[in-house]
């Protein structure tokens, strides 16, 4: 991964290297092995892995900022410690003098939470010797033996191989052979045989399959699928720093005009699955960093038009101007962490809980790649990056494509000191429904997605044209038709959209308040916010058609009282009657399910699971006339006691 040599490396405490190998006993002493033994975890203490994983990389250069003890393990299933570098004599070495201590502590805290820690070997600057290592049986045997020393010394739960890249040169100085991919499979097979049962093997990959002997992407990778647990598609670094910037991590080639049409999440998953890698053995790599560049560009590379039409940008007026510096202290180009954009004042939370531009930076949205970017005319800088909105879309895609999960590179880039905004947004939509198996039962995890409210507005004279465009209820439109509708918006400049999203956390927080804010009230607030947003843009609204929320007369009276110059029509199913709104809920190629559709899918495909609970689940049972005064299960779970016990 290209990050290994730059991200926060300048802030590490030392550039010294430490090594360990089976052939140099002095490098792994009895004391060092003893110090790691407390981190051991038997398979019975580790939580069973579900069908969906949230993974992340923990780079050893980040220990000064994010200690292993600060990792919130409730958000992650597997964490990869990065990186151990292969050496010319087929050993392994770290690049930081505190790497061994950090790995020991990471395994200890992870195992205490029942989670898994793997060691990632390689990286962009650590792939020099992979080709040589895998080229012969003797070399592979020695390297596997040295890996096993690390596995046993640190009580690891698996290995991640980040060879960048088999069959192609990658970084300058890397050995390369036309037989790399074939030899790589032999190495992975031997590594699998050496690892204990249940240990994980993953490989970090490009957006297309490994290179064959001719240097082209392999057409059949099914042999790898039989050996490894999953791959990580590194869907980032598609565009780095450039005076003609492009998206770092495109979700798709939404405008079908990219010079790299295969370098996006949609195309990458398609390339790998077509070559024989099952979707449930693919994790999508997502970045917690972006790229800084000096540029006066008004759009991203290979895009036909401005990212957002004039008048539709969201900006926070700055009290002072900010200049963004990259992770090595430069201001002209380089990588910059998401948390650093916040701490440097280029991003800030607005009153809706969304991250918007600050310090003179304006946040733009590239609908072609489904990613945001920042621009500042004051500093002359542009930053391409990912934020909670783009992460949420990537989580939706991973879930709907049936992927094994997502992997964040890297964990420190998301940690703001008090929150994990990117991981949280990713997880909201990644965990839709997954079964977590155990010895005796199965646990069903249901994570609700966000609720989206949308508005469309246009001149009164444009109303007759709406029926000609072909809008319909989003559930009645195919993904291809929705995509065409989105494309057609560019041809109809008077047609404007806005949307408001309520996250599951926000909905729950409102409904669980001491004085609850019910869902209808939250929906009303979102609707009112959309109307005010249109008015704030200078739109002179004369007529407004609104979906019913509860009794229509009361809702219409409330809106009319708040906005007396607008003529309101409130009626049930307005989003279907006025179908211009509905394509927003389709989110282009993504599938939208209604609850009725979900029920049909569950009835046809789900496996019924029953849990027997002899306890009454109702809190009111405490006040019944029965003589059994045992506290209901829900009370015990909450740690509650009856009034009579106080």
Same domain, 480 and 559: yes
* Co-location of 641 and 564 in the same domain: no
The pLDDT score that the predictor gives to residue 579 is 57
* pLDDT of res. 267: 92
pLDDT in tens, 579-609: 555 444 444 334 444 555 556 666 776 766 6
pLDDT at 85 over 50: yes
Rounded CA gap, 106 and 81, in Å? 8
Between 193 and 45, whose confidence is greater? 193
How far is it, in rounded angstroms, from Cα 111 to Cα 333?
39
CATH number, residue 582: 3.30.420.10
Res. 617 pLDDT band, cuts 50 70 90: very low
Q: Are 474 and 579 part of one and the same domain?
A: yes
- Give pLDDT, residue 316: 28
* Together in a domain, 460 and 532: yes
- Residue 320: pLDDT over 60: no
Q: Is residue 249 part of a domain?
A: no
Which residues, other chains included, contact 161 with Cβ-Cβ below 8 Å and sequence gap of 6+?
120, 121, 122, 188, 191, 201, 202, 203, 204
DSSP 491: G
How far apart CA 525 and CA 558 sit, in angstroms, is 12
The Cα 280–Cα 125 span in angstroms is 29
pLDDT confidence of residue 474 = 59
* Helical (H) or strand (E) element with 503: none
581 and 507 inside one domain: yes
Comparing 67 with 257, the larger pLDDT belongs to 67
pLDDT band at residue 551, thresholds of 50, 70 and 90? confident
Least confident of 60-74, 361-375, 543-557: 543-557
Residue of 545 and 130 predicted with greater confidence: 130
User: Taken in order 311, 316, 320, 324, is the CA torsion positive or negative?
Assistant: negative
Confidence of residue 92 (pLDDT cuts 50, 70, 90): very high
Domain that holds residue 510: 451-601
**Nearest Cα to 411, choosing from 5, 42, 65, 6?**
65
What pLDDT is recorded for position 473? 61
pLDDT above 60: residue 257? yes
How many residues does the structure list for the chain? 646
pLDDT at 537 over 90: no
Amino acid 501: pLDDT: 75
- The band of 342, judged by pLDDT with boundaries at 50, 70 and 90, is very high
**Which ranges in 155-217 belong to alpha helices (H)?**
180-194
The single residue listed with the structure tokens 């998301």 is 414
Q: Which of 37-46, 414-423, 470-479, 598-607 has the lowest mean pLDDT?
A: 37-46
Range 472-481, long-range pairs (CB < 8 A, 24+ positions): 472/579, 472/582, 473/575, 473/576, 473/579, 473/582, 474/582, 474/583, 474/584, 474/585, 474/586, 474/592, 475/592, 475/594, 475/597, 477/582, 477/583, 477/586, 479/586, 479/588, 479/589, 479/590, 479/591, 480/589
| 398 φ/ψ angles, rounded to the nearest 5 degrees | -60, -40
Same domain, yes or no: 504 and 646: no
Number of domains in the chain: 2
Cα separation, 413 vs 3, whole angstroms: 11
Q: Which range has the worst mean pLDDT, 336-340, 383-387, 613-617?
A: 613-617
Please tell me whether residues 483 and 570 are part of one structural domain: yes
**For residue 400, what pLDDT band results from cuts at 50, 70 and 90?**
confident
Find the mean pLDDT for residues 78-98: 95
**Residue 154 scores a pLDDT above 90:** yes
Confidence band (pLDDT; 50, 70, 90) for 139? Answer: very high
Are 473 and 562 within one domain?
Answer: yes
Domain check: are 528 and 620 in the same one?
no
Q: Confidence class of residue 334 from pLDDT cuts 50, 70 and 90? A: confident
The answer to whether residue 44 sits within a structural domain is no
Mean of the per-residue pLDDT values of the chain: 77
Mean pLDDT of 259-288: 93
Per-position DSSP letters for 355-410, written without gaps between them: EEE-TT-EEEEETTTTEEEEEETTTTEEEE---HHHHHHHHHHHHHTT-SEEEEE-
* Whole-number pLDDT of residue 383: 92
Pair 558, 624 in one domain: no
235: in domain:
no
Cα 550 from Cα 262, distance rounded (Å):
47
60 domain-assigned: no
Most confident of 191-195, 316-320, 419-423, 487-491: 191-195
Which position has the higher pLDDT, 408 or 570?
A: 408
On whether residue 593 sits in a domain, the answer given is yes
519 domain-assigned:
yes
What proportion of the chain, given as a percentage, has pLDDT over 90? 41
Do β-strands 158-162 and 381-384 pair in parallel, antiparallel, or remain unpaired?
A: unpaired
Cα dihedral sign for 477, 482, 488, 494?
A: positive
Tell me the mean pLDDT in the region 421-449. Answer: 56
Residue 311: CA count within 13 A, CB half-sphere: 11
Q: Which residues contact 625 (CB under 8 A, 6 or more apart)?
A: none
pLDDT at 542: 85
Mean pLDDT of 414-440: 70
Q: Are residues 541 and 626 in the same domain?
A: no
What is the tens place of the pLDDT at every residue in 502-526?
776 677 667 666 667 777 788 888 8
Q: How would residue 311 be classed by pLDDT, with cut points 50, 70 and 90?
A: very low
- pLDDT at residue 570, rounded to an integer: 84
Question: Both 631 and 585 in a single domain?
Answer: no
How far, in Å, CA of 270 to CA of 272, rounded?
6
Query: In the prediction, which pLDDT does 289 show?
Result: 94
DSSP states of 287-356 as a string? ESEEEEEE---SS-TT-SS-SS-TT--BBPPPSS------TTS-SSEEEEEHHHHHHTTSEEE-TTS-EE
Check pLDDT > 70 for residue 450. no
Question: What is residue 260's predicted lDDT score, i.e. its pLDDT?
Answer: 84
Q: How far apart are CA 210 and CA 184, in angstroms?
A: 10
Q: How confident is the model at residue 319 (pLDDT cuts 50, 70, 90)?
A: very low
Distances (CA, A) of 481 to 208, 473, 484, 588: 28, 12, 5, 9
Identify whether 493 is part of a domain. Answer: yes
| Residue 39 in this model has a pLDDT that exceeds 50 | no
Closest CA to 503 of 564, 628, 620, 419: 419
**pLDDT above 90 (res 71):** yes
pLDDT in tens, 104-127: 999 999 999 999 999 999 999 999
Does the pLDDT of residue 202 top 90, yes or no? yes
| Range 177-204 average pLDDT | 98
Strand pairing partners for 204?
A: 232
Percent of the chain with pLDDT over 70: 66
Structural domain contains residue 369: no
pLDDT above 60 for 443: no
pLDDT of residue 166: 97
Degrees, nearest 5: CA angle 512-516-517: 110
User: Model pTM?
Assistant: 0.64
pLDDT at 618 over 80: no
- Tell me: cis bond preceding 410? Omega within 30 of 0 counts: yes
User: Residue 14: what pLDDT?
Assistant: 35
């Amino acid at each position: 991964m290209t990050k290994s040599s730059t991200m926060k490396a300048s802030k590490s405490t030392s550039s010294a290297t430490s090594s360990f190998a089976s052939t140099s006993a002095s490098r792994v002493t009895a004391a060092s092995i003893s110090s790691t033994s407390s981190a051991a975890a038997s398979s019975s203490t580790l939580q069973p892995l579900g069908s969906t994983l949230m993974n992340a990389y923990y780079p050893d250069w980040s220990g000064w900022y994010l200690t292993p003890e600060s990792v919130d393990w409730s958000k992650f299933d597997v964490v990869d410690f990065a990186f151990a570098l292969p050496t010319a004599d087929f050993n392994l070495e770290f690049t930081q003098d505190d790497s061994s201590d950090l790995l020991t502590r990471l395994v200890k805290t992870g195992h205490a939470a029942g989670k898994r820690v793997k060691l990632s070997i390689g990286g962009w600057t650590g792939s020099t010797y992979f080709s040589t290592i895998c080229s012969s049986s003797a070399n592979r045997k020695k390297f596997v033996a040295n890996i096993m020393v690390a596995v046993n010394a640190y009580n690891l739960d698996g290995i991640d191989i980040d060879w960048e890249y088999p069959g192609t040169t990658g970084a300058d100085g890397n050995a390369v052979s036309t037989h790399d991919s074939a030899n790589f499979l032999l190495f992975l097979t031997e590594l699998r045989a050496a690892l204990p049962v249940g240990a994980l093997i993953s490989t970090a990959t490009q957006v297309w399959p490994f290179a064959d002997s001719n240097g082209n992407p392999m057409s059949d990778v099914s042999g790898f699928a039989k050996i490894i647990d999953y791959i990580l598609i590194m869907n980032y670094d598609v565009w780095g720093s450039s005076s003609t910037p492009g998206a770092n991590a495109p979700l798709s080639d939404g405008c079908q005009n990219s010079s790299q049409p295969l370098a996006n999440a949609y195309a990458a998953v398609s390339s790998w699955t077509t070559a024989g890698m099952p979707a449930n053995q693919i994790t999508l790599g997502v970045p917690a960093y972006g790229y800084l560049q000096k540029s006066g560009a008004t759009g991203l590379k290979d895009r036909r038009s401005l990212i957002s039409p004039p008048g539709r940008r969201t900006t926070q007026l700055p009290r002072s101007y900010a200049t963004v510096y990259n992770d090595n202290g430069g201001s002209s180009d380089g990588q910059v962490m998401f948390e650093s954009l916040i701490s440097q004042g280029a991003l800030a939370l607005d009153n809706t809980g969304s991250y918007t531009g600050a310090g003179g930076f304006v946040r733009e949205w590239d609908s072609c790649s489904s990613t945001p970017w920042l621009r500042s005319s004051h500093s002359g800088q542009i930053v391409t990056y990912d934020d909670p909105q783009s992460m949420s879309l990537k989580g939706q895609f991973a879930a709907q494509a049936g992927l094994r999960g997502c992997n964040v590179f890297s964990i420190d880039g998301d940690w703001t000191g008090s929150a994990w905004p990117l991981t949280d947004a990713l997880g909201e939509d990644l965990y839709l429904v997954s079964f977590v198996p155990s010895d005796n039962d199965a646990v069903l995890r249901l994570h609700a997605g966000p609720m989206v409210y949308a508005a469309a507005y246009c001149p009164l004279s444009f109303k007759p044209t709406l029926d000609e465009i072909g809008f319909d209820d989003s559930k009645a439109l195919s993904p291809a038709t929705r995509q065409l509708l989105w494309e057609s918006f560019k041809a109809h400049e008077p047609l404007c959209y806005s949307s408001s999203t309520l996250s599951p956390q926000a909905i729950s927080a409102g409904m669980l308040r001491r004085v609850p804010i019910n869902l209808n009230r939250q929906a009303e607030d979102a609707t009112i916010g959309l109307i005010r947003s249109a008015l704030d843009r200078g739109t002179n609204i004369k007529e407004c058609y609104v979906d019913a929320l509860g009794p229509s007369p009361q809702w219409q009276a409330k809106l009319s009282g708040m906005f007396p110059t607008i003529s309101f029509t409130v009626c049930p199913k307005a989003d279907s009657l006025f179908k211009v709104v509905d394509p927003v809920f389709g989110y282009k190629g993504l599938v939208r399910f209604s609850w009725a559709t979900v029920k049909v899918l569950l009835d046809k495909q789900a496996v019924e699971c029953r849990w027997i609970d002899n306890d009454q689940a109702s809190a009111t049972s405490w006040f019944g006339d029965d003589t059994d005064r045992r506290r209901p299960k829900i009370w015990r779970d909450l740690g509650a006691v009856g009034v009579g016990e106080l």
